[in-house]
Amino acid sequence: MIDLVRATPKTLVIGSIHHDRSLDVARLPGRGETVISRRARDGLGGKGANQAVAIARMGVACELLGVVGDDASATVVRDALANHGVSVAQVGVVPGRHTGRATVVVEATGENLIVVEPGPVDRIDRAMVDANLRDHATPPAVVVVQGEVPPAVVAWAADSAGAASTRFVLNLAPVVPVDPGTLRRADPLVVNEHEAGHLLELLDGGPARIDDVDDALGVARRLVAAGPRSAVVTLGAEGAVLADGPTAHHLAAFAATVADTTGAGDCFTGTLAAALARGHSLPEAARWGLAAASLAVSRPGAASAFPTWEQAGDVLRREAAPR
């Protein structure tokens, strides 16, 4: 278990918790095609759980608000979270329901496809959210929410975070409908290039194709113009772009030997939130996220592959060293 004695400001993640089954294949199947898996692995998953682990691995105290079923998988995922240093005091159990599940197919290049059975995430209610934000004597410094929870939960989290003066990090993955008030509280909104395009089509109806970094810079500026205080668009091997007003910046990715991209976006978002909680600026936090993600993709698995704060720091120091 990770020692959080030196943990810095508390964070709260509101999100999904899954028991994943990962299947390694030589290549992803085409439509209607059957392929044979070379290896199967079970482990912790769900964007909420993954991002909470990423935060805890950064040495920042993290509590996860979510729900599991009353099946054997619930014990597995709760134990895994606790062993990674995540507080599970706010993880509820829903009788008669099974814990969320996901099937992850990973090809030899590290690319993947994922199918999610969400489980009882619909049982997160407003009272649970308010108790940890609006009604809490010492609310967290940062709250993180993803699109794997119902849109109502996203809206409650944004509202309660605003009332508690807590920084609201919104990872709209997948993209779900959000009202303008919710979007305006996001600081930042975090999406990948595909999610950014989908979201802009919903917001302003215009096309948002990203073929290169210049396209991504324009999309990031359009996202901020649509409401959020800041926006980060992740670009995989091209790094990320961020905008916090009319200007946008490109941050290059760190070199990585890719083994498995599962959870890379969650590693980035969780690390970014942890760095913000530690007092870093948004550009600095995004660099920490990219450094951590470069290590995560070099190892198989999702949460189990996430690096520590010290390991991510080593990547940043190597990049800054004179050549």
pLDDT at 8: 55
- Rounded-to-integer distance, Cα 185 and Cα 275, Å: 19
Most confident of 125-139, 195-209, 270-284: 270-284
Give residue 159's region: left, alpha or beta (phi > 0; psi -120 to 50): alpha
Report pLDDT digits (tens) over 160-207: 999 999 999 999 999 999 999 999 999 999 999 999 999 998 887 777
pTM summary value:
0.92
Instruction: Identify whether the C-beta of residue 262 lies closer than 8 Å to the C-beta of residue 54.
Output: no
- Rounded-to-integer distance, Cα 147 and Cα 124, Å: 13
Strand residue runs (E) in the chain: 8-14, 18-24, 39-45, 60-68, 91-93, 100-106, 112-117, 142-146, 167-171, 186-192, 231-234, 240-243, 248-251
113, pLDDT greater than 50:
yes
- Rounded-to-integer distance, Cα 224 and Cα 236, Å: 21
CA 14 to chain centroid: 11
